[in-house]
Amino acid sequence: MVNYGQEAYDFLEKLSFSRTSGSEMEHKAANMIADEIKNYGLTPTLEPFEVKWDKPVHALLKVTSPVEESFTVTGLINAADTPEGGCDAEFYYMRLIDELTLRQAKGKFVLLNDRPSEENYKKLMKAGIAGFLWMNGSSRDTYENSDLDTMRYRPSYLKHGKVPGFAIRMIDAMKLLRLKPQTVHFELKTEEFKSTSYNVVTLVPGTDLSDETIAVGGHYDSVEFSLGSWDNGAGTVQVLGLLKHLSKNPPRRTVKAILFGSEEIGLEGSKAYMAAHPEEGESLLCMVNLDVGGNLLGSEMAMVTATSAAEDYLKGILKEGGFSTEVRPGAMSSDGTVFADYTVPAINFASYTPRNGGYMHTRYDNMDMISADVLDHEVRQLIYVFGRLTDAEVFPIERKISDKMQEDIVKYFGEGRSQTEKRKKGNKEQEEK
């Protein structure tokens, strides 16, 4: 019997290095993936797209009274620069964002427990804060075992305004609060970062139903400090396992595989892909996305962004094939949702850990988490599901996104930022005419 798991594990081990959006290492990973696909006798292409953002190049935070002490912080991507020489403001720890605290926050530099929701961010901007700081990591971290990564908030926030923003280790936030700070000095300078990221695209032509196409994909980039074995080297090697299988067992329908760059900065790879191939929004039968997998501890899940009939179909065939995977509806924060936004039914396979069994987007996302046996099981599941989809006499999933899922998609992308919302508005205008 073929051991898909060991092959997947071996390649994943090689791919386990930090692969951040637009970096040389991300490009290296794209080339490694393309070379592996060539080994199967298939022809991958690298589709480039531009990525750019305002990258913090200088960030400083200092308590100025009642004592003076500096803290290690990172500037937030998409935050505003301070004027030359920095800013000084009163310090305020906002334990909760509510009417009372918002009233007291005016003109102050505020500490928040977490990254604010867009709604709370809007309230903070309206309240006229001078700047803000949020906590990152855990209260049990040490300097030796933690990293402070360059965090960002979504571009959709920017329409509400921007102020200088920072992130601080939770352990430092505790230290800072013990000083009972009254005033702080802060400085932030950003510079435009522009680079190229790549999607790796491969076509496996179908036999007698070759004009019908199913997409499969997963992102291969990672965040800073993370080796991205779980998120999402594991999804990447599952797609490779499927491609290897299909190269030897030609499917009836055509399969298009896309390994995305730059997912971690806001699904940029899949957005660039659909912007370059909008006609596929009309033609793809469905998209199967893989994001996080291979974890020794945990369980398998599939989130369906389509209809309840599609969920029931998937539940049925997984039972039939003997795969214990929880199926539920939703718009997952991953590339499949971009396809669903272009009306392509999406199935997102993921594999979650028990609580505290895995730390996504940290240095602990590495091969220690990964099991070749679990990868084997997941590759087999993917091959099984694809066998059903590619070889069905009539394609079993209707090309439809339910009203509820459309709502979830619009909510996920935020106001004015989804194709679904644009389409809905267009339809309404048509009706009114």
Residues forming contacts to Zn ion in the complex (CB under 5 A) are 231-232, 291
Q: What are the tokens at 92?
A: 């305020």
Q: What is the rounded CA–CA span in Å between residue 75 and residue 237?
A: 34
Distance CA 62, CA 68 (A): 7
Query: For residues 214 and 204, what is the distance between their CA atoms, to the nearest angstrom?
Result: 10
CB of 235 to Zn ion, least distance (A): 7
Nearer to Zn ion, 231 or 376 (CB): 231
Query: Could you give the angle at the alpha carbon of 391 between the alpha carbons of 390 and 394, nearest 5°?
Result: 95
| Between 267 and 410, CB nearer to Zn ion | 267
Report in angstroms how near the CB of residue 334 gets to Zn ion at its nearest. 6
141 contacts 174 by C-beta, under 8 angstroms: no
Alpha helices by DSSP H, 142-256: 170-178, 234-248
Q: Which of 314, 319, 294 is nearest to 303 (CA)?
A: 314
Residue 281 CB, nearest distance to Zn ion (Å)? 22
Identify which of residues 213 and 270 has a Cβ nearer to Zn ion in the complex. 270
Regarding beta strands 287-290 and 45-65, do their DSSP bridges make them parallel or antiparallel, or are they unpaired? unpaired
Task: Tell me how far the alpha carbon of residue 302 is from its chain's centroid.
Answer: 16
Q: Which is nearer to Zn ion, 176 or 227 (CB)?
A: 227
- Tell me the three state secondary structure of residue 371: coil
Least Å distance, CB 222 to Zn ion, is 8
Query: Rounded to the nearest 10 degrees, what angle do helices 403-413 and 419-432 cross at?
Result: 120
Tokens, residue 21: 């959006």
Closer CB to Zn ion, 172 or 291, in the complex: 291
The least CB distance from residue 288 to Zn ion, in Å, is: 15
Choice between 146 and 351, CB closer to Zn ion: 351
User: What's the half-sphere exposure (Cβ side, CA atoms, 13 Å) at 128?
Assistant: 4
Closest to Zn ion by CB, 26 or 231:
231
The CB-of-122 to Zn ion minimum distance in angstroms stands at 27
In the complex, the smallest distance separating the C-beta of residue 292 from Zn ion, rounded to whole angstroms, is: 6
